[in-house]
Amino acid sequence: MNINGGDDLRALGRDDLQQVCDETRQFLIDTVAKIGGHLAAGLGTVELTVALHYVFNTPDDRLVWDIGHQAYPHKILTGRRDQLSSIRQRGGLSGFLKRSESNYDTFGAGHSSTSISAALGMAVAASQQNIDREVVAIIGDGAITAGMAFEALNNAGDLDADVLVILNDNDMSISPNVGAFKNYLTKLMTGPTVSGVRRGTKKALDALPEVRDYARRWEEHLKGMILPSTFFEEMGFYYAGPIDGHDIDTLVTTLNNLKEIEGPRFLHIVTKKGKGFQAAEDQPVKYHGVSPFNPSTGEFGKKAKIRTFTHVFSDWLCDMAAKDERLIGITPAMREGSGLLRFSEEFPQRYFDVAIAEQHALTFAAGMACDGQKPVVAIYSTFLQRAYDQLIHDVSVQDLDVMLAIDRAGQVGADGATHAGVFDLSYLRCVPHCVIYTPSDEAECRDMLYSAYQHKGLTAVRYPRGSGTGAIEREQMQTIELGKGEIRRQGHKVAILSFGTLLPGALEAAERLDATVANMRFAKPLDGQLIASLAANHDLLVTLEDNVIAGGAGSGVNEYLAASEILIPTLNLGLPDRYIDHGSQAEQHAECGLDADGIEASIKSSRYYVDVATPAPKTNLA
């Protein structure tokens, strides 16, 4: 296979396309087997990817992929095949779509459900500029459960924009899909047939006798193909499908026909996540994102089991639910990632996956809190950004008793900038009634989860991806006094105020500098008494956090010092005012100067730093 872009693919004959699909799929399996990465979603979109680049004049015609999990074949076919082995590694390809990486990546995507809005914007831009261009959005059945997708569909139908939306329906997102819309698609596929063919499907498929034959043979499974009125047509779209998303010839013919139709069009294809690799077909959740494995057997190499902060939360949630029947667990489509699998099995009546609907998740929790339940919303830091208005308007303003378990706080490693949870301290700290816990290790995390749950009002416990120091959690949970930090090392001259899991690096740097280290524990409320004491007994205060400096915990310390009229040099260490590329978390922290070496270097470079071993200058008393 020697394809480095759309022109190379379009130079082939249609009879060659199946071989391209087969080689692309095998290359994807072999590469990801060596390095790990996202697998099952991409295997399901191989034929679609080949067909899209074959039919449309990419990159001039715009393909807007929703999130990047399904776009590995797209990368392979657009000049990045030889770089795929570097994906998600430092200096390598992004695991998602990235405009700066390729002109074929028309819109950056890390979060779901953005493709239809972006494609609609591009279609309107083309119309405004009188450019004849096709614009295609490819969205999964999981991503289309988000409210943003429906907002875009509603707008597209109203504008009568020239845009094609392709629904990649595989009954999966990361976890199995949930919700009424998922049930609607299932009924569309399995219900009884009715007579009549809709105008959009008829026009698109007139030249496809083989598809009509396929429909007749499988009519009980293809209700959508001949349903006279569908949800999508009511939204103003020509609806075509469902068709087999793994039949390359049918895909090419259908897409060519749909090109001839103007206005909003909607193609419903049915695919299988993990297609072509039996292990992934059988266990699509397990093979969504993988570590290296044996491509012949699908078996993963043995590795030591490391207890993560997500495991700590998972066990705490089940332990707490056993003690309090009011506890409700809520997740926006991240059951496995947020650690709710065990809870969903042990407490199914109190587990709610609300689909990819972060805004709804917060207001749903608020409604429960109004009537006496104690909702715990398990959510990634980067996804909580999508529900900021609901956090303020629906939870905080009403001072409701909602707890946020914020996973993936700080740098997240291979997922890079789109998933980095580096803004939550800044955007939570300014919200009234919000208590923010910043555990430094696993044991403290369990106690803080317990403490946050006991507090009446809005609370947030933020913890990083992966593991910490490995501190053993106490089975008997303890309440941590609200807003109280602790001294972890007593030193001289310099005091490091650490927020969260960067504490080990702070302690290591402090040993070299003979500095004091405080584990602040809370970003809000701050331990003002401790800050004042440290300021009174040291020459330099240093704040440390895995969050952007702007508006973060260090800014809170600055504000406290100013309000208290305490004058002392203060150095804020955190993330710079730019996005950090993907790599390991250790590499990202080193780049930002947040490891022990970086902390030491930053302190030593401060004009206010005085080495404790340096003798005081002699004073001339004459």
Which sequence positions are flagged as catalytic? 273, 358, 386
How many other C-beta atoms can be found within 10 angstroms of the C-beta atom of residue 543? 25
How many other C-beta atoms can be found within 10 angstroms of the C-beta atom of residue 15? 8
Q: What is the 3-state secondary structure (H, E, C) of 234-256?
A: HCCCEEEEEEECCCHHHHHHHHH
| Cβ neighbours for 234, distance < 8 A, ≥ 6 positions apart | none
Q: Report the C-alpha gap between 165 and 154 in whole angstroms.
A: 13
Dihedral sign of CA atoms 183, 140, 423, 495 in order:
positive
How many separate helices (H) and strands (E) can be counted in the chain? 26, 19
For residues 164 and 194, is the Cβ–Cβ distance under 8 A?
Answer: no
Q: Which residues of 228-258 are buried (b: 16+ CB within 10 A; e: fewer)?
A: eebbbbebbbbbbbbbbbbbbbbbbbbbebb
Q: Report the C-alpha gap between 534 and 541 in whole angstroms.
A: 8
What's the full length of the chain, in residues?
Answer: 622
Estimate the crossing angle of helix 503-513 against helix 596-604, to 10 degrees. Answer: 50
Q: Does residue 280 sit in helix, strand or coil?
A: helix
Dihedral sign of CA atoms 205, 208, 211, 215 in order:
positive
Structure token digits, residue 344: 């969903």
What order of strands is seen across the sheet that includes strand 570-575? 486-489, 516-519, 494-499, 540-548, 570-575
Q: Report the C-alpha gap between 194 and 196 in whole angstroms.
A: 7
Q: Report the C-alpha gap between 561 and 423 in whole angstroms.
A: 22
For residues 506 and 600, is the Cβ–Cβ distance under 8 A?
Answer: no
Q: Report the C-alpha gap between 392 and 540 in whole angstroms.
A: 35
